[in-house]
Structure 1
Amino acid sequence: MTSSSSHINKREYLFRRLALLTVITIYLVILAGGIVRSTGSGMGCPDWPKCFGSWVPPTDVSQLPPNYQEVYGAKLKGEIEFNAVKTWIEYVNRLLGAFSGLLVFSLLVVSIPYLRKDKRVFYGSLLSFILIGLNGWLGSRVVATELAPYLVTLHMLLAILVVFALLYVMAVSYTGHLAIETGRRKKTVVNRVLIWALVLSLLQVLIGTQVREAIDEVVQRIGYSERERWIDSLDYTFYVHRSFSLIIFAFQLAVLYQLRNYSTGKGILFRLTNALVALVVIEILTGLLLAYFAVPAAAQPVHLTLAIIILGLQFTALLLLNADQLLKNQAVSLPNYSKV
């Protein structure tokens, strides 16, 4: 191997590792956002981009001006007393968001050499950068509108699009470097079942956002201290969301069955599908925990993050299943892993 090709391989290896780190960080941002919502810390910092007018938020009420209640009271939604825990929960969420933005920008810079080899990697990285910038701006609008429900939902959907764009870039850059099992028959049926599972899972997430917004309305009426009454106060949307989880589970089992009939070995697609079945089961269990144990705050962000992870793995499985299409612009052929 020449020094030039070795340099290229190291550069591509760096890109793939940075892409993986960026995806993990985005998921941490989503988890942090879930913690913000479950703890009611969305207005822990009532202004943006600063927090209580400072780049480093206060840790004690003595660090605020004497008239802070008059200045920020209208935005604190009745919680006039300063709460350092909620303030720092929101602030850490913002820091993670800023860090993820730096990672996506770094990924864009590192992807520039791919303009010669595979432009999809560069343009996918560029799209990720645009989307995360748009989502950062949308986060400021969420604060400005005092947590308008439709903006909170849109904020999350954009985060999902960022994940999808990054996973696409990862799949393209990793294809040819992964052991992807081959198929013994046409993959048309597997593709269709997997696409349906992805679409239905996304629909379930959207229904879940409606349930979350309904809970927010209930909280405004009866308060955070009445968690045991939250579920009983919800409308039919909650019951649709709960029942729909069984359909998601059934489709995931169908994906597993179809993939086992398709694959000639037990490679990465097989492992991804097994992981998806396990995650859907855990997701259902966390949903039951929320429904029957007074919506514990710790379970809410886990439930949301698991849902986004499931979407990401489904999308990744779909991309890898069609790895031959991802390689169409690359000057390499798909290796045979029939014995994997």
Structure 2
Amino acid sequence: MNLVSQCLNILMMLFRKLGILTIITIYLLVLAGGIVRSTGSGMGCPDWPKCFGMLIPPTDVSQLPHNYQEIYAEKLHGEVEFNVTKTWIEYANRLLGAFTGIVVFATFLASIFYYFKKDRVIVYLSFLGVILIGANGVLGKYVVDSFLKPGVVTLHMLLAVLVVFVLLYAIARAWSEVISIETISRKSTLNMILVLTLVLSTSQVLLGTQVREAIDRVVANPLFGYDRNTWIEQMGLPFFIHRSYSLLILGLHVYLIWLLKKNIQREGLTYKFMVALLAIVIIEIISGIIMAYFGVPAFIQPIHLTLAILSLGIQFIVYLLINAERVFKASKS
């Protein structure tokens, strides 16, 4: 192997590994965002990109100007009270967001050097990932400026899901060079059920954001906000739809497993992903049950959210694997 071939091989492996790191950091960012949301730390830093006007936030209220409550009163609707824990949770979330942006950009650069001539779709997708992650960062600023406006928070999360889909496709195309295409029968039926599952699962995530917004309204109510055991009964219709809908999602996944078991080899990669997906959906439902019957524990909420986004990502991977012969045609040539 000559020097040029060795360098190209290094760049190829660099892109693949950076791609995996990118997906991991994005999911960690989703988890961090869930922690921010569940702990009420979204306004822990009332300004952006600095935090209380500082590059590194304070660790004690004595480090802030004596009139800091007046400075940020309008932005925070008068609810200004420095909380070091919430401030540093939000600050850590921002640092992770910045790191994710760097990794996504590095992935794009690696794609240029190896895939620009070989498979430009990977380069275009990687660049789109950079644009989307940047847009989500800007949207994160608006989340702060809008005082956690509900619709904006939901859009912020959905944009993160779109980033996952775009980069998963790019990374899957790169790895398809070394993954054998499985023989799968009844693809049309599997695709129909899988697309339906993706659409309904995404709808379930949206319903979950409505439940989260309902929780925010309950927390803001002085009659119920301090008693977690009363939150569920105050949430109304969005929660009950979300809870019942989960049984439909579970049923679809069980049916998908049954179809895959009949139409693909059980030792194949697609089947393994599908089994992992079913396990995640079951754990996801269990976490929802814990929230419903144990006063919505704060530590469960980010886990519940991350599992939901993780399940969407795996559903998308299964779709790509089922249709590998078509969607990865260019990368195989």
TM-score (norm 2): 0.96
Q: Which residue of 1 aligns with 2:92?
A: 92
Distance 1:46 1:111 in 2: 37
Report what 1:289 is aligned to: 290
Residue pairs, 1:292-307, within 5 angstroms: 292-307=293-308
2:134 — aligned with what? 133
Q: Which residue of structure 2 lines up, in the alignment, with residue 186 of structure 1?
A: 186
2:4 maps to 1:4: yes
Call closer, same or farther: CA 1:98–1:259 in 2, change over 3 Å: same
Contact kept, 8 Å, 1:107 with 1:125, in 2: the verdict is yes
Distance 1:135 1:217, change over 3 A: same
Measured against aligned partners, the alpha-carbon deviations of 1:36-91 in whole angstroms (never above 9, x if no partner) come to 01000010000011000000000001100111111123444554331000000000
**Partner in structure 1 of residue 51 of structure 2:** 51
> Equivalent residue for 2:322?
321
Q: Quick one: structure 1 residues 136 and 275, their matched pair in 2 at CA, closer, same or farther if it must change by over 3 Å?
A: same
Map 1:202-217 onto structure 2 (within 5 A): 202-217=202-217
Counterpart amino acid of residue 274 in structure 1: V
1:241-270 deviations in whole A, cap 9, x for unaligned?
Answer: 000000000000111111111113411111
2:174 is matched with which residue?
Answer: 173
Ranges of 4+ aligned residues in structure 1 off by more than 6 Å: none
Partner secondary structure for residue 112 of structure 2: coil
**DSSP 3-state at the match of 2:66:** coil
Please state how far the C-alpha of 1:329 moved relative to its aligned partner. 1.4
Ranges in structure 1 where 5+ consecutive residues have no aligned partner: 333-340
Work out the CA distance in 2 between the residues paired with 1:55 and 1:176. 44
For 1:128 and 1:24, the matched residues in 2 are separated by: 14
Residue deviations 1:264-322, cap 9 Å, x none?
34111111000011001000000001111000000000000000000000001101111
**Is 2:259 the partner of 1:229?**
no
The change in CA–CA distance for 1:326 and 1:4 in structure 2 (over 3 A counts) is farther
* SS in structure 1 at match of 2:148: coil
The offset of 1:186, in angstroms, is 3.4
Aligned-residue offset at 1:176: 2.5
Task: Note if contact 2:176-2:332 (Cα within 8 Å) is conserved in structure 1.
Answer: no
Q: What corresponds to 2:244 in structure 1?
A: 243
> Counterpart of 2:73 in 1: which secondary structure?
helix
User: Equivalent residue for 1:83?
Assistant: 83
| 2: CA distance, partners of 1:17 / 1:47 | 35
CA distance in 1, matches of 2:332, 2:318: 23
Which residue identity does 2:189 align to in structure 1? V
For normalisation by structure 1, the TM-score amounts to: 0.94
Looking at structure 1, the residues matched to 78 and 298 of structure 2 have their Cα atoms a distance apart, in angstroms, of 21
Distance 1:250 1:331, change over 3 A: closer
The whole-number CA distance in structure 2 between the counterparts of 1:64 and 1:314 is 47
In the aligned structure 2, how far is the partner of 1:73 from the partner of 1:220? 18
Distance 1:331 1:77 in 2: 56
* Aligned residue in 2 for 1:267: 268
Per-residue deviation, residues 106-155 of structure 1 (Å, max 9, x unmatched): 11111113120001100000110110111000000010011100000000
- Report the secondary structure of 1:117's partner residue: coil
Which residue pairs with 2:124 in the alignment? 123
Partner of 1:336: none
Q: Alignment length, in residue pairs?
A: 331
* Worse-superposed segment, 174-183 or 135-144: 174-183
Supply the distance in 2 between the matched residues of 1:168 and 1:331 (Cα, whole angstroms). Answer: 14
Secondary structure of the residue aligned to 2:117 is: helix
In structure 1, how many angstroms separate the alpha carbons of the residues matched to 2:102 and 2:56? 19
CA RMSD of aligned residues (A): 1.4
Deviation at 1:105, TM superposition (A): 0.8
Report if aligned partners of 2:177, 2:331 keep a CA contact under 8 Å in 1.
no
User: Structure 2 regions of 5+ residues with no counterpart?
Assistant: none
Distance 1:118 1:250 in 2: 38
Preserved contact between residue 225 and residue 231 of structure 2 (Cα < 8 Å): no
After superposition, the Cα gap between the structure-2 partners of 1:224 and 1:28, relative to the gap in structure 1 and judged at 3 Å, is farther
